[in-house]
Amino acid sequence: MTLNRNGAALITGASSGIGAAYAERLARRGYDVTLIARNRRRLDALASRISDETGRAVEVLEADLTKKEDLARIETILKQDARLTMLVNNAEVGTAAPWLQSDVDTMEKMIGLNIVAATRLTYAAVPAFVARGNGTLINISSSVAISPEVLNGVYGGTNAFLLALSQSLHHELAGTGVRVQVVLPGATSTEFWDIAGMPLRDLPGLVMPVGEMVDAALTGLDLGEFATIPSLPDIADWDAFEAARRKLMPHLSHAHPAARYRARPGSP
């Protein structure tokens, strides 16, 4: 096993798809990796392959992050394991069904995984990173965070939450030595789409191979990007979007309503 200079990365939703690709790429970059998911068989197979191919230490933790006891166990690890230098919040569930055709209990479970679990794991990891003056938080969101009309509104809302949380932490943690990146992929070739009820065959020309997506995201990290949108041809478009948002900020809170909302002479 080669000397570890990068520490360890904990990756949720790591048994397949984006999480598995992150595990492979980070191990090749010199990280030890801790893999979190529900499917122990897949985790063990992935761990064995990564360890054999890279010589890195790979730890497997079977956990269902919608269960309080499992989530608490992973939180404790993030708080106490000083080897951990990176958290990749990747575990999520989604749906393509319209809001009016969705079951509210299913939507609540989605919020529990996509928002509650990610929030609790972030609260567990980031203070430890700040205390050590080093660490990286990567939140895997989605392009629907800025285009919620595309898929189910609750799913879009959970990803918008991750974007907002990342923006706030990026601002709050400046100067602490802790990096924050949010990744906003479009359609990616994972099992997500079959589970969400929209098979990949229904998305011709729109689906990026998962390896290419993760490679792009890590290149964005190398470039120092806060927000990485792997499909976006020109980063200037994101910069313009962000500039427009920032232009609004000084005008979002004033002592009186804007002139267009004030009563006019003769109005009731």
H/E segment holding residue 33: strand 32-37
* Cα–Cα dist 89/150, whole Å: 22
The CA R_g of the chain, rounded to the nearest whole Å, is 20
Of the candidates 162, 58, 57, the residue with the CA atom closest to the CA atom of residue 117:
162
Hey, what are 206's tokens? 């729109």
Catalytic site includes residue 22: no
Q: Which is the catalytic residue, given 31, 123, 155, 261?
A: 155
In order of 18, 38, 54, 116, 194, the CA distances from 189 in angstroms are 9, 20, 24, 25, 10
Catalytic amino acids? 155
